[in-house]
Amino acid sequence: MTSRIVLATHNPHKVQEFASIVATTRPDLEVTGYDGPEPVEDGVSFAENALIKARVAAARTGLPALADDSGICVDVLGGAPGIFSAYWAGHKKDPVSNVELLLDQLADIADPHRAAHFVSTIALVTPAGAEHVVEGLWPGRIALRASGEGGFGYDPVFLPEGQGGRSAAELTADEKNAASHRARAFVALVPLLAVLEH
């Protein structure tokens, strides 16, 4: 018998990515997208925003709900953009402008001081009210200029550790999915999925 879990996003690519990961450990668990209204993400941490989204989706659908909140954190900027990553250059959520602004802010910062990491925080909320939060970090640094055609967001300027100086946008989808912050959070999520009713 197949059980369902809802992913609190309107992004079909993210639903597909989550579904692929879940299928490797829980083939009986169907991941569906959320079609309800988007809540106001007024938390002050990745965990708070992920929980806001998961709580709304669980309450509205009556299903266990997953929500991801993620962003990039730059050491020399005190961890910014952080939870404001998607809006770094303004509320139009323009990824090209976000990247341009970040590179401009770091223009005078030498390569050894451009350390950064991606964060993915995933919340799991059940209709009964149980709540769990897991986190994955992907360390690296900010490049001097953008490169690569793949990925999205800050991927063209993020140089992950152990990838030979290639940006996240230069990795294949399989390479990125095996190493990324989201993949690392999935590893922590798997045991939580195992306790859901079959």
108 is annotated as an active-site residue: no
Q: Which of 69, 94, 108, 111 is catalytic?
A: 69
Q: Are 69 and 56 in contact (CB under 8 A)?
A: no
**Inter-CA distances, 90 with 33, 93, 97, 120, 196, Å:** 27, 6, 9, 21, 39
Which residues does the annotation mark as catalytic?
A: 69
